């Protein structure tokens, strides 16, 4: 903790000097690196630590302030899972090198508050004229019992020209599903863009002898998406023996593309309300959109796929 406080103090001094105006004026035609303006827009926030999963949306103003809404998935009282809504506000300062500090006040549903200090770095960016726009940031803060809480923020595209922002239509197509935390599984989900889906999953688990077994599970259900990219799922699963079970998930659109008046989610981070095991462990999955396949009519003139790697050192 002492080292962390020292790091905060040193970083704060660097940030103060960076914003003090001591540096010489730069050429307006030269790149200026990062600044508070580089951090602006809507960001999907994802924090998975220990047995807690947090997903949310942070709105950042590009001047030095932000606010976030989140869904916090924590262990329940009976080896189940429960979700707590949370809000937070804060300020930030970003140096030209892409290192930042962000004091944040977190507010729980009962009105209690908790203040933390986030240290973050821009880990992905794109050029926007003579400026840089942060497309991903990795942030850390002091957690409980000396642990470190890690959060990834992924910038979502601006949806100002998309009527109503994100909607059920934004999740449309075929998505590959893999487990990130919890039981091992992989599958394919088919989303219809109207709030309905089906998926087929192959799951693995250890039996009473410790040997790995695999099962095929089919599922169908409904989903709902808010305009800012948060969503919920209700699904009914059918097991190989014909028995069924129901469950609920929360998710955030963690990557998307905008094409004219349409916004399509290309990645979803999903946190289940169903525990991963009998001890109530966390269950997190990731869905990534696959490209749309052309119809057979449009494929009649296509050529076979071939290796076009250039040959070197021979004929």
Instruction: Point out the least confidently predicted range of 34-38, 137-141, 148-152, 200-204.
Output: 200-204
Q: Which of 171-175, 184-188, 226-230 has the lowest mean pLDDT?
A: 184-188
Of 77, 96, 94, 108, residue with least CA distance to 30? 96
Give residue-wise pLDDT tens across range 136-167.
999 999 877 778 899 999 999 999 878 889 99
Could you check whether 2-19+31-155 and 168-289 share the same CATH topology? yes
Q: Which burial class, exposed, middle or buried, applies to 206 when counting CB atoms under 10 A from its CB (0-12, 13-18, 19+)? A: exposed
Residue 22 has, within 13 A of its CA and on its CB side, a CA count of: 7
Do the Cβ atoms of 65 and 100 come closer than 8 Å?
A: no
- Say whether pLDDT at 298 is over 60: no
Least confident of 134-148, 160-174, 289-303: 289-303
pLDDT at 207: 73
- Is the confidence at residue 44, as pLDDT, over 80? yes
Given a contact cutoff of 8 angstroms between Cβ atoms, the answer to whether 64 and 91 are in contact is yes
Is the CB of residue 228 less than 8 Å from the CB of residue 43?
no
Q: From the CB of residue 287, how many other CB atoms can be counted at a distance below 10 Å?
A: 23
| Residue with the larger pLDDT of the pair 26 and 86 | 86
Paired with 25 in beta bridges are none
Q: Is the pLDDT of residue 308 over 80?
A: no
Helix (H, G, I), strand (E, B) or coil at 27: coil
pLDDT of res. 215: 86
Give the pLDDT mean for 167-185: 92
pLDDT, position 306: 52
Residue 6 has pLDDT above 80, yes or no: no
CA distance 293 to 302: 13
β partners of residue 232: 224, 250
Q: Where are the domains of the chain?
A: 2-19+31-155, 168-289
Cα angle, residue 110 at apex, residues 107 and 114 outer, rounded to 5°: 30
Judged against a pLDDT cut of 60, whether residue 297 lies above it is answered with no
Helix (H) or strand (E) holding 203: strand 196-206
Tell me which architecture the domain covering 168-289 has in CATH: Beta Barrel (2.40)
67-115 pLDDT, tens per residue? 999 999 999 999 999 999 999 999 999 999 999 999 999 999 999 999 9
How much is the average pLDDT of 115-119? 95
Average per-residue pLDDT in the chain? 85
The mean pLDDT of 185-200, rounded to a whole number, is 96
For position 295, what pLDDT does the model report?
A: 52
Phi, psi of 191 (to 5 degrees): -105, 135
Rounded Cα distance, 230 and 48, in Å: 17
- Asked if residues 137 and 43 have their Cβ atoms less than 8 Å apart, the reply is yes
Confidence at residue 140, expressed as pLDDT on a 0 to 100 scale: 95
pLDDT at 311 over 70: no
Please state the rounded mean pLDDT for residues 123-142.
92
CA 178 to CA 188: how far, in whole Å?
A: 9
Give the residue with greater pLDDT, 214 vs 6: 214
- Can you tell me the distance from the alpha carbon of 74 to that of 283, in angstroms, rounded to the nearest whole number? 11
73, 14 contact by CB (below 8 A): no
What would the mean pLDDT of 200-211 be, rounded to a whole number? 80
| C-alpha pair distances (Å), 64 with each of 40, 154, 231, 295 | 9, 18, 28, 48
CATH number of 2-19+31-155: 2.40.128
For residue 315, the model assigns a pLDDT of 38
> Above 60 in pLDDT, residue 134?
yes
């Amino acid at each position: 903790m002492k080292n962390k406080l020292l790091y905060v103090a040193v970083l704060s001094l660097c940030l103060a000097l960076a914003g003090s105006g001591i540096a010489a004026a730069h050429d307006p035609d030269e790149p200026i690196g990062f600044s508070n303006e580089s951090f602006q827009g809507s960001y999907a926030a994802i924090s998975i630590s220990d047995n807690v999963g947090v997903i949310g949306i942070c709105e950042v103003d590009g001047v030095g302030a932000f606010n976030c809404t989140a869904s916090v998935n924590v262990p329940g009282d009976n080896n189940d899972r429960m979700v707590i809504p949370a809000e937070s506000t804060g300020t930030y300062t970003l140096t030209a090198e892409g290192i930042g500090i962000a004091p944040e006040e977190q507010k729980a549903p009962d009105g209690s508050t908790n203040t933390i200090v986030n240290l973050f770095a821009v880990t992905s960016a794109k050029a926007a004229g003579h400026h840089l726009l942060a497309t991903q940031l990795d942030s850390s803060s002091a957690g409980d019992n000396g642990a470190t809480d890690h959060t990834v923020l992924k910038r979502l595209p601006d949806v100002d020209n998309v009527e109503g922002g994100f909607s059920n239509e934004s999740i449309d197509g075929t998505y590959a599903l893999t487990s990130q935390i919890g039981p091992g599984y992989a599958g394919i989900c088919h989303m219809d863009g109207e709030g309905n889906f089906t998926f087929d999953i192959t799951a693995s688990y250890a039996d009473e002898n410790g040997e790995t077994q695999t099962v095929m599970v089919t599922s169908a259900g409904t989903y709902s998406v808010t305009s800012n990219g948060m969503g919920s799922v209700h699904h009914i699963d059918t097991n190989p023996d014909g028995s069924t079970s129901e469950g609920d998930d929360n998710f955030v659109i963690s990557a998307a593309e905008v094409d004219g008046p349409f916004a399509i989610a290309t990645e979803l981070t999903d946190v289940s309300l169903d525990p991963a095991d009998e001890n109530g462990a966390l269950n997190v999955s990731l869905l990534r959109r696959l490209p749309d396949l052309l119809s057979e009519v449009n494929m009649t003139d296509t050529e076979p796929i071939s290796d076009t790697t250039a040959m070197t050192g021979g004929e």
